[in-house]
Amino acid sequence: VSIPPYLILSDNPRKTIDGVIARFQPDKVAVLVDENTRQYCLPLLELSVPVIEIKSGEQHKNIHTCTEVWKALTDFQFTRNSLLINLGGGVIGDLGGFAAATFKRGIRFVQMPTTLLSMVDASIGGKLGVDFNGLKNHIGVFQLPGSVIVWDGFLRTLSKRELRSGFAEMLKHGLISDAQYWNELKSHDFNSGDWKNLIQKSVEIKGRVVEADPMEQGLRKILNFGHTIGHAIESALLETGDALLHGEAIAAGMVMEAHLSFQRGMLSQMELDGITDTVRKIFGGVKLPEGEKLIALIQQDKKNRDGRLNFSLLAGIGKSEPDQPVNRTEIELSFSYYEQAIR
């Protein structure tokens, strides 16, 4: 399997970024960081270009922060021929990419993801944007980066909890499209620090799916496995003291959506058990918000048409089916399954 040409898996990010800059011949270059990637990642690149720093965290992924970036680019006298390097996790990539894609109708940008989640997910596929009025990714565009430079060395300073969150998306990649990869992931030793091969597989899978369906009209929906219920859990817990990282909510969502697949006869008992055991081992169980609240949030989910609840479900390990209609009773059963199987 090959990966799209703009994706570079690098062993030497300093050399790779130099090469990309030499190839693009920009008149100006700047790098966007947050306080953490400035401290932990920027020094490893030894770049001698102006730095734009924003505050870390999802709460800063908004249009106000974006105007700060536009302002900095204006101060640096960026032109249509300049280049922005986004060095950070998904927040930096989504916001920096959006700022670049809209500045003077679009300048080139390079994603240098520094979290596991952004390496295997956020930096691939060209979705860019910011949150607005409490709604996630409400304002944004599709635009492919000039390059994505993936170097697993950045993960050395990432917390275990953030690593685990990104790992949930990798588990999803295995479940929806590659049974052998799923088996490899199940036996991965978290403390080994050996991520390169696994990252490559995930990048290939996500790269392949988004290339087949860049604008999310069909196939790309399979990437939503675990996300319909997962997002509802994530949103319901957002304002509470038990907020979850994205991948933690998705892991729970995958167990419940695997159970939906099981109820519809698409997944065997053994396959369901395998998924539940793996998630339990890595993530433990989370305390679910109240069922009514979750269902209300699921109903708001943007991918539902005509009032039906549509899910991307598994049709065996390594295969998935988008647009599977599911009713309320089935969803409630999946909640009780999770409660008794995991907690």
Site for ligand NAD, rule CB under 6 A: 34, 36-37, 40-41, 56-58, 61, 88-92, 94, 114-115, 117-118, 121-122, 125, 127, 136-137, 154, 157-158, 162
Q: Is 80 left (phi over 0), alpha (psi -120 to 50) or beta?
A: alpha
> Is 246 among the residues known to form the active site?
yes
Query: Per DSSP, what are the bridge partners of residue 33?
Result: 53
In the bound state, the residue with its beta carbon closest to ligand NAD is: 90
How far, in Å, are 98, 131, 132, 263, 304 from residue 138 at the CA level? 12, 5, 6, 33, 17
Selecting among 36, 38, 169, 310, the annotated active-site residue is: 169
Selecting among 60, 127, 172, 173, the annotated active-site residue is: 127
Q: Least Å distance between CB 105 and ligand NAD? A: 21
CB nearer to ligand NAD: pick between 34 and 271: 34
Q: Is 51 left (phi over 0), alpha (psi -120 to 50) or beta?
A: beta
Q: Least Å distance between CB 135 and ligand NAD? A: 11
Q: Least Å distance between CB 329 and ligand NAD? A: 31
Query: Is 300 within 8 Å of 136 (Cβ atoms)?
Result: no
Query: Is 60 within 8 Å of 91 (Cβ atoms)?
Result: yes
> Is 161 among the residues known to form the active site?
no
CB nearer to ligand NAD: pick between 88 and 274: 88
Question: Residue 311's closest CA among 327, 293, 296, 292?
Answer: 327
Tell me how far apart the alpha carbons of residues 61 and 228 are, in angstroms, rounded to a whole number: 22
Selecting among 173, 246, 271, 321, the annotated active-site residue is: 246
> Is 169 among the residues known to form the active site?
yes
CB nearer to ligand NAD: pick between 166 and 274: 166
> Is 206 among the residues known to form the active site?
yes
Q: Is the dihedral of CA 271, 165, 235, 341 positive or negative?
A: positive
Selecting among 61, 220, 221, 259, the annotated active-site residue is: 220
Query: Is 232 within 8 Å of 301 (Cβ atoms)?
Result: yes
CB neighbours (10 Å) of residue 340?
7
Selecting among 172, 227, 259, 321, the annotated active-site residue is: 227
> Is 220 among the residues known to form the active site?
yes
Q: Least Å distance between CB 39 and ligand NAD? A: 8
Q: Least Å distance between CB 117 and ligand NAD? A: 4
Q: Least Å distance between CB 93 and ligand NAD? A: 7
CB nearer to ligand NAD: pick between 103 and 154: 154
Tell me how far apart the alpha carbons of residues 175 and 304 are, in angstroms, rounded to a whole number: 22
CB nearer to ligand NAD: pick between 154 and 181: 154
> Is 224 among the residues known to form the active site?
yes
How far, in Å, are 45, 261, 325, 336 from residue 329 at the CA level? 53, 14, 12, 11
Tell me how far apart the alpha carbons of residues 172 and 166 are, in angstroms, rounded to a whole number: 10
> Is 28 among the residues known to form the active site?
no
Question: Residue 89's closest CA among 111, 62, 70, 64?
Answer: 111
Selecting among 224, 271, 310, 321, the annotated active-site residue is: 224
CB nearer to ligand NAD: pick between 74 and 157: 157
> Is 292 among the residues known to form the active site?
no
Residues identified as active-site: 105, 127, 169, 206, 216, 220, 224, 227, 231, 246
